[in-house]
A and B are shown apart, each in its own frame.
Chain A
Amino acid sequence: MKKNTRYYIALDPDTLYRFEDNTLYLTESLYLSQTTVFIRKVVKEVKDLKVRDLIINLSELQDIDSAGVMAVFHVKSRLHKLGVSVRFEGGSESVVRKLELFRPGQIRAELPPPRIGLLESIGNSVYAFFVHYVYEFILLAADVFYWSLADVFRPRSRRAGEITNQAVLIGVNAALIVMFMSFVIGLVLALQSSQQLRNFGANIFIVDLTVIAMMSQMGPLITAILVAGRSGSSIAAEIATMKVTSELDALKTMGLDPIRFVVIPKLYASLLTMPFLIILANVSGIIGGGVAAYFYLDITPEIFVNRMGDVMQNKDLITGFVKSQVYASLIVLTGSFYGFRVVRGAEGVGIVTTTAVVVAISLVIIADSMLGLIFY
């Protein structure tokens, strides 16, 4: 059986062609693997030989592939630019047919992108930000708000068990990591402050510091950041994948609203579980602070708990609850918003997932600052 050697045996370039007077005879076969050497050597030799009128004779050429044809035309074009006229002669029927078939077409010139100035560029970006992001985010938020109210009154058409499933995924499964991280942060916070407090003989204020910091700021913020990273990404990826695989289109064509069907259960689940996660975070953080206070400042658990009763206020609980609802809404909305915006398949899913997490965390921190000012 004839071996196929087209790509792997790079023939000696000297055997590919020979010059006789002003005629270039192509011999053997000209394939992809030989084209680079062929172009370089032929152009150089024509220049050295100072040929002004070159004939490329194809009669000894046995076979040629599309890259070979392109190389021959490429040589012709380069020599033409050097003022050398080139014409072809000879060639077997199959070689001539391939020359015709693979002849390079006229490549359409791309229109250069319009040059825009700095101010126009900034203006375009600001416009795009408000129209494509802020406006559409508000539209989605309005839709979600409508369906979150409408769905309350239509429990029969709700998917049974879906809110529970989502609550487990978003809330219950996140509980351990939220508790652990809060404990560590509470511990470190108290540990870092203990030295300073001891210098001033204000050991007991470690309780005030830990409780206020955890309840009003750190607890809700740590929880929100962890949930945004965990569930925000999963919401974005899930919705984006559903869009890429036309599942959202299928829902629409079945007369189901994708927001109601996909987003609302996640929103309810987040709104329900977030307050409990924040409570767990607060408790774990305070326990962490209590451990540090016991070992470094000799504050016993009894003293810690008694002092904690004086420090804690109802306002902190209300603040925590309000924050939990705001953060939960922001995380679900951001994840959904980017999920619905996916384009270009698998790569797009990765992009929107990353963006959703970054934007959700940023929004949570901005909201935290604003709520901090409001509840100060």
Chain B
Amino acid sequence: MEREKVIEVKNLMASFDGLRVLTDVSFTAYQGEVTVILGSSGCGKSTVLKHLLGLYPINMGYAQVLGQDITALTEKEQKELYLKMGVFYQNGALLNSMTVGENVALPLKQHSLLPDTLITEIVYMKLGLVNMQDAFHMYPSQLSGGMLKRAALARAIVMDPPILFCDEPGAGLDPISLQSLDELIVNLKEQLGMSVILVTHEVSSIMRVANRIVYLEQGRVAFEGSLKQALSSEISSVKQFFSVLYEGDDLRK
């Protein structure tokens, strides 16, 4: 059976101030999978993500998100597409002037006519999914880094988006918090049937969550395939990236 494509990128190119950041990026992400976009710092991971999110316009190349050509979206269509996308930013990006509950409720209040009581119930339930119900009335400034990220995740999934974009969710987290965040992402993917696009270079995280790997190198896709294929890849940069795992094993010996 043919798998449903949630993202399709073809020959995406991007330059900033005359500097070519993306040379030729083409890849596909499928429904119900965690697709990890990885690569060393400055390889263009975040740039690809920002193009997919419509934050940077696509001038060269083609990209499709949830079946919609995002190179030719009107403002209204882009807004409608945003409702189907959950975005989890690196620093959480919660609004500091609002409580966690208000932050999570914000998309529902803006985009639905649900009564407040029902919105509160949904927010409680979503915070429950990320084990953050106790933080409902707290402000982001009162939360630890890990709690902040979980709260941000609750906000990203509050509209039950079919696709969740995560920009380096593990940055700045200790290994235990990172593991629990990864488990949360996998659980959400399985429970809600979401497709997840994850930008990261945390190898441990990739091993836990990835179904599919897109490896970027100097603005182009050096490898695309399953995690298993990536681990046995003969491409030197991919091999070197994952060699960290084996170095860890060596140290323990």
Contacts and interface: CB of A to CB of B under 8 A. Distances in A.
Interface of A: 1-4, 6-8, 32-33, 35-36, 39, 65-67, 70-71, 73-74, 97, 101-105, 107-108, 110, 343-348
Contacts of B136: 108
Interface of B: 4-5, 66-67, 80, 83-84, 96-97, 108, 112-115, 117-118, 120-122, 124-126, 128-129, 133, 136-137, 139-141, 159-160, 162, 191-192
A4 B125 CA distance: 24
Nearest to B83: A7
Contact of A104 (B84, B121, B140): B121
B188 to A, nearest CB: 10
A105 B124 contact: yes
A107 B121 contact: yes
Nearest to A65: B160
Contacts of B114: 32, 35-36, 67
B80 A67 contact: no
A1 B133 contact: no
Contacts, number: 84
Contacts of B124: 104-105, 107
Nearest to B129: A101
A7 B191 contact: no
A1 B2 CA distance: 10
B118 A1 contact: no
B96 A345 contact: yes
B71 to A, nearest CB: 17
Contacts of A108: 133, 136
A343 to B, nearest CB: 6
Contacts of B80: 7-8
Given A2-B4, A4-B67, A105-B133, A66 B191 contact: no
A70 B118 contact: yes
Contact of A33 (B112, B118, B126, B192): B112
Nearest to A348: B96
A32 B112 contact: yes
Q: Pick the 6 closest A-B CB pairs, nearest first.
A: A345-B96, A65-B160, A347-B97, A104-B121, A36-B113, A344-B96
A105 B162 contact: no
A203 B157 CA distance: 78
